[in-house]
Chain A
Amino acid sequence: MKKTATDVLPAEGGLGNDPLLSVEDLHVEFATRAGLVKAVNGVSYTLSAGETLAVLGESGSGKSVTAQAIMGILDMPPARIPKGAIRFQGTDLLKLSEEARTQIRGRRIAMIFQDALSALNPVFTVGWQIGEMFRVHQGMSKRDAEKKAVELMDRVRIPAAKQRVHDFPHQFSGGMRQRIMIAMSIALDPEVLIADEPTTALDVTVQAQIMELLAELQRESNMGLILITHDLGVVADVADKIAVMYGGRIVENAPVHDIYRRPAHPYTKGLLESIPRVDLKGQDLYAIKGLPPNLLDMPTGCAFHPRCPYRQDNCVTSVPELYEIDPNRSSACHYWREVLDGTDE
């Protein structure tokens, strides 16, 4: 008998109170010539159906690597996951066979990438690429798959979808290409959608339209959305909660409004202060001093201590755990109280 991967997969709809997706103490490292790059050092976050989690952090903080670990698209080797769990409706994805993971990928957890031009295959029509989801995963015929592709292109509001289904990626504008990526990713109604900086490559007006589209699709289908970005401005409108990453760790977890009003980690605070603000026009922009940590040689104690204005002696020696501030909030700072109090309401 042919073993089907679905036997071992989590049931659709989820089990009881388990969150849709939870990442627990995830570690990812890369074996490189220069040494072991510890890109992710104990990331934990959860996502429920219908919820939008924004993952924030400067370049190199491990946002994409975490997402790729969830998708299971890291090249192993050089990547290795020495520790951690990724539970999808209760099942640890890291314990599944490659075959079982292929069943989840694209169908139930889908991903959108930053640069749609390079992320789409240049030699196939967009219709072929969207339709492939139906042909391969559902055994649909070419014609039906193409019909579905047109429907999806309509749904992500690509004008004249019926004619354009035979066009190639390079014949579309940047925003339209990202819409095609989105159409492809939502083709099979995934429960989780990971969008890795989906608007970074686009100009500002188009960015807003794409974010609006994502939010709308998410409302309609009740999927969980992980939105990776380093743009705090984008986040405020769409996210329910935020996970801030620094040096491969989560430094702060919080509902979106709390974090804007009262950050509980010095790094988050620095990030917020570096957003350009209309009311402070003309003043110099605040920038966090110092450089991002060297992943080959992480600072001892709290990875942020060399740049932190709140630093005390124990920050250099002991790694702060994620302290619970309230049931929805946590901060990986020994002095989170001081940081909280130091911000005006």
Chain B
Amino acid sequence: MGRYIIRRLIQAIPVLLGSTLLIFATVFVLPGDPIAALAGEKRADPTIVAILREQYHLNDPFFVQYWNYISGVFQGNFGRTFANVEVSEIMAGKFQVTLNLAMTALILEAIIGVGLGLWAALRRGKATDSAILASTLVLISIPTLVTGFVLQLILGVQLKQSFGIDFFPVAGISEGWRSYLVPGFVLAGTSIAYLTRLTRTSLVETLRADFVRTAVAKGMSRRRVVGRHALRNALIPMVTYLGADLGTLMGGAVITESIFNIPGIGQELFRSVYERQQPVVVGIVTILVLVYILANLIVDLLYAVLDPRIRYE
């Protein structure tokens, strides 16, 4: 197992290199001069621009720049912005905010998605089942932007004005964990729908398996047959989906954070692309890639825990 983890981490290196190179190149070819942008509307003094360009190695060939950057990353140094702030410093606090958001989304996804999926599976073919399936379709087809603004309006404005209920903050993060509830739900929206469907299918299939029939023949109660024998097997694809989704949720935070004005890395990424803060953009993407890789590794390890037929050497 330990050797497997090490091998997987080594395999992750080319993935990390490839994806950062790609993003580095993309940022490199973006039009506009970051140093000029630094000066804002005014025209910058050409001598200062030349000094700054030298200082930030902007005149070096592309691969040299990339090499300087990536070797820094491997030493935990994400470089400095053009305004001379440590990139890692910018990311540190914001990463935590986005992680909070993504974890909230993940927890909501797990509770709602699994709950609805199980409910639908146990009422297969009945009205409840159809209603749940239909609502997942609706959830999948509505863009995040729409759910975001609609919920903001209903929960943040109407609920407060009509009923005086102010439980769901819909902007900023000043209310602690409660601030993350609505944005988390919006972020998780489509994932909830997919997980619901996956859970339902998975349990329905498992309930048809021979070993479920064996459990019934052993005289086990329906509760035990479903809750122990079937669910334990149905769990495997569900957990896999949930784990892999953590990366997706962190990446998807860009839109949600802008809607709800949440100061996470999504918002920061958006601004940095706009301001051509090359080091920040690459830094954030690198972190996101890392999260993806780690999440997938954890999923694979969980897989082996849940399914004894899988062994990693």
Contact = CB atoms under 8 A, between A and B. Distances in A.
Interface of A: 71, 73, 102-107, 110-111, 113, 115, 118-124, 132-133, 136-137, 168, 170, 181, 184
A53 to B, nearest CB: 19
B218 interface: yes
Interface in B230-283: 232-233
Given A122-B307, A122-B308, A123-B306, A132 B211 contact: no
B221 interface: yes
B215 interface: yes
B214 interface: yes
Contacts of A132: 218, 220
Contact of A122 (B213, B217, B224, B309): B309
B216 interface: yes
B14 interface: no
Contact of A120 (B214, B217, B220): B214
B219 A170 contact: no
A102 B308 contact: no
Given A104-B219, A132-B218, A118 B309 contact: no
Interface string B199-221: 00000000001110111111111
Contact of A106 (B209, B218, B229): B218
Contacts of B213: 73, 113, 119
Contacts of B229: 121
A137 B219 contact: yes
Contacts of A181: 214
Contacts of A113: 210, 213-214, 217
| Chain B binding surface SS class | helix
Contact of A121 (B214, B216, B221): B214
A105 B224 CA distance: 14
Contact of A111 (B217, B224, B306, B308): B217
B237 to A, nearest CB: 13
A184 B218 contact: yes
Given A123-B306, A123-B308, A168-B309, A107 B210 contact: no
A132 B211 CA distance: 14
Interface in B96-137: none
A123 B232 contact: yes
Nearest to B207: A75
Contacts of B214: 113, 119-121, 181
